[in-house]
Amino acid sequence: MERYGIRVVPLTVTMGEESFADGEKSIDEFLEWMKGSPELPTTSQPSPGAFFEVFEELAPKGPILCMTISEKLSGTAQSATMAKNMLPDADIEIFDTKAATSAEAAQVIRAAQLLEEGRPLAEVVEYLETYRESIRIFQGFLNLTNLVKGGRLSRWQGRIAEFMNIRVLCHNVDGAIEVLEKVRGTEQLFERIVQLVTEQGVDIEDRILVISHADNREWATWLAKRVEALNPRDVMVIPMGSVIATHAGPGSVVISV
């Protein structure tokens, strides 16, 4: 954000009676609160008005590229499109990244780099369309508590998984997150992620690999060291935002390739 002057229109998180924009509260404080709550926080998309304010401010400076979280995960792209329609004379491109957290970040950073090089917006969007379809996301759930709280697993299933030391490995399918495998043990989970990253049929040396985590820097760093051996363009380790951590749960790690 600082390096490229990227503006953010954040989603909102509600914890009990308190609501805040994603990024306003430290992720450590948020996770601590969430661990002690019997219910999950709720999340909501930005309003069209929030996008309108930013678009109206930026429009006189030139074309705007607005990159959003997957429309299969949030109505954020719809809000951005409504705001765009309020400014018919502005040059605004709404781009659905079909991703969130690490994979969204990778696409945004790559777009910023290409625009800084002076590439035309149309060329950057064409590049992103190809990049988006080839990107792979692997997410490791170490703690299934939030899956139980959110109703995606029953309490009985959650207890069995905990007793059996089961870890859930998910991947992206056209902008949605689906279960890929179930693995026994944390080390086995991350070894499997490394294997899957290695097997990707893409030129990893041209990729920015982004790893996000919800209070699990230890395994995120371990994963980063392993994938650095594949010589990608860059490897970044970042904390997960509160919106995604709400659904992923404490200890989760996501890598985009």
Domain 137-256, architecture per CATH: 2-Layer Sandwich (3.30)
Q: Is the pLDDT of residue 115 over 90?
A: yes
Q: Is the pLDDT of residue 86 over 90?
A: yes
Kindly report the pTM of this predicted structure.
Answer: 0.86
Confidence of residue 88 (pLDDT cuts 50, 70, 90): very high
Q: Is the pLDDT of residue 144 over 80?
A: no
* Domain assignments of the chain as residue spans, ordered by start: 12-134, 137-256
Q: Is the pLDDT of residue 208 over 80?
A: yes
Closest CA to 149 of 33, 13, 247: 247
Note the pLDDT tens digit of each residue in 211-220: 999 989 999 9
Domain 12-134, architecture per CATH: 3-Layer(aba) Sandwich (3.40)
The per-residue pLDDT for 150 is 60
The per-residue pLDDT for 164 is 67
Common-topology check for domains 12-134 and 137-256:
no
